[in-house]
Amino acid sequence: MTNVSVVIPVKDEQELLGKLLSELKKQTLEHEVIVALSPETTDDSEKVARTHGARVVQGGMPAVGRNNGAAVAKGTYIFFLDADVLPAQTHFLEHAVDEMQRRKLSCATVANYVQQPKLRERIFYGLFNFSIRTLNTFGQGYSCGTCIITQSDAHKDIGGFNEHVEFFEDVEYTQRIARKHPYGMLSRKHAILVNPRRMRTDGILVMTWYALRAIWYRKIHGEITDIAVIDENYFSRKKNQTTTPSTTQATQEQSKE
C-alpha cells in the first residue's frame, strides 16, 4: 500500500505542473499524486495531470484544494506541494519521511532554495531559511506553503486547513498543529527548489513587505480572511506573472549547504 500522497493545488500552471510531475516520477519512494484543480483554471493543467497519472479533484483557494486532496489521500504522510516547486533530490520523499519518523514529527516544513538563483536570491532564501528555523526552535510553528509534510491523523485531528483564511493559511495551519503535535523543520539536505517568478516579478523588497505586513496584521487583528487587506492587487498580479526556466541539476548544490 502506498504510504505517501502528494497533494498539489493548481490554477493555470500547466507548464510548471508538468515539470513537477516529471520530477516526482523519479522519486525513490512510491507515492500517489493528487492534483486539486481550481474550477477557474483555463489552461491544460487537467490534461497534464492525467497524462502523468495523477488523480484530479476539485480545488479552489489553496486551503480548499489542499483539504480536498487530503480527503482522498492514502497512507500515513501527505506532502502538500505548490505547483511551482521541484524536489531537490530524487530521494526527497523517502528521506523526508525517514527523518520525520526518526524525530517522531507529526508535521514538518523544509528549507527553500531557488531554481537557477541570482546572488541576491541566494542571500534572501538563506536569511529566510535561517529565520524559519530559528522561529521553530522557539516553538513558533512557522512554515512556508511551498512544502508542508503532515501525518494524515494530525491533519484530521485539527480539521485540516482553515478555508476562511486567504493569506498565511499555511502558517495558521502549522501553528495549530504545533500546539497539539510534534512539529519541526527538516535538516537542510531535505529541501525544495522554488521557482523565482514571483520574486523576479514583484521584487524582494515587495515580497518582504507583504510578509511583514501579514505578520503584523495577524498579531493585531487575527487571521487574514481577505487577502486584499495585505495586497489589493494580488490576483491581478499573480495572473500576469510569467514562468521562468528551471532545472534541478543547476541548483542541487544549494540543498547541500
User: Residue 32 maps to which CATH number?
Assistant: 3.90.550.10
Expressed as residue numbers, the domain containing 111 is 4-256
Q: What is the pLDDT along the chain (257 residues), one digit of tens a residue?
A: 569 999 999 999 999 999 999 999 999 999 999 999 999 999 999 999 999 999 999 999 999 999 999 999 998 999 999 999 999 999 999 999 999 999 999 999 999 999 888 899 999 999 999 999 999 988 889 998 899 999 999 999 999 999 999 999 999 999 999 999 999 999 988 999 999 888 888 888 988 898 899 999 999 999 999 988 887 765 454 555 434 444 444 344 444 44
- How many helices (H) does the chain have, and how many strands (E)? 10, 10
79 forms beta bridges with 6, 149
**Which helix (DSSP H) or strand (DSSP E) does residue 108 occupy?**
strand 107-109
- Say how far apart CA 68 and CA 121 lie, in whole Å: 33
CA of 244: how far to CAs of 4, 188, 201, 247, in Å? 29, 24, 10, 10
- Domain count for the chain, please give it: 1
